[in-house]
Structure 1
């Protein structure tokens, strides 16, 4: 006999929204069928906890069990963030051919560059490879601390087998190597 799926909703305040780089309410909706592993149905970030409930109702669901166990919700958050981190690291994209003709790429030598989205944490960081005719987005990450930024730079350095080198006075675009 198959039991109906049971839906659960959990929320936590002050979680990092990796898109907006703000600390907001995080909500996750999941289901469990026949005592199997939980299946995440959806997740949301919002300024107010009530917005998360509204988003769940928008999915067409009207009945769920509210979970207040912070450890369960935190594991769900970490699971989602770990998948995002893996995807951010592995997704490689060639940028538009026009990119090579725009600043700063038309002004810098070929090489691998680390670019920070801003000076304050949390921030987005990207590893960009400039070749003669193309610009590639090699890796991206969200860093909440200086330590995470240094870890990203170290991983880029190891992945591309080069020594990290930072140019002082240019925190937003820092070359790792040049050809």
Structure 2
């Protein structure tokens, strides 16, 4: 599975409890080797579990975690440090909404950054494994911020 922090495909392990026939995820880990998952679970204080290697179950758990992360990445808006506006490349950039990629190859992190006169905001971020996912992110950003973009164009035309 894709480790979203390292942008690398690694072994994935998840620990969950079943309550009312519903899984409750209590921990998950990534590792370069399968045994690393077990070691991390033990280090986290877990000593007993039943190993399940059922691929569809594991993929469902992974997808549940990723969906929550994607929602959080989209909704968490953060103002960057005030010093950021005085550093390159933001010092030279004009006000506006920018889409940034963490690197040129996939998978990558994409961010929607809004530079205003005195502040820079991280509006949204996403983990993109393909060009299609990146384009979907850009489309979603454009839809979400259409009013701001249209408003800015109107203000420019009125000058």
Shift of 1:60: 2.4
CA RMSD after TM alignment: 1.7
Secondary structure of 1:66's partner? Answer: coil
Q: State how many pairs are aligned.
A: 151
Match of 1:95 in 2: 80
Q: Which residue of the other structure, out of 51, 57, 69, is the alignment partner of 2:42?
A: 57
Give runs of aligned pairs for residues 21-170 of structure 1, distance below 5 A.
21-33=7-19, 35-161=20-146
Match of 1:16 in 2: 2
Runs of 4+ in structure 1 deviating by more than 6 angstroms, as ranges, are none
TM-score by length of 1: 0.80
Shift of 1:89: 0.2
Mapped to 2, the partners of 1:36 and 1:109 lie a distance apart of: 53
TM-score by length of 2: 0.90
Q: Looking at secondary structure, tell me which structure has more helix per residue.
A: 2
Shift of 1:68: 1.4
Is the contact between residue 157 and residue 163 of structure 1 (CA under 8 Å) also seen in structure 2?
no
Mapped to 1, the partners of 2:13 and 2:72 lie a distance apart of: 21
Mapped to 2, the partners of 1:104 and 1:60 lie a distance apart of: 44
Mapped to 2, the partners of 1:60 and 1:104 lie a distance apart of: 44
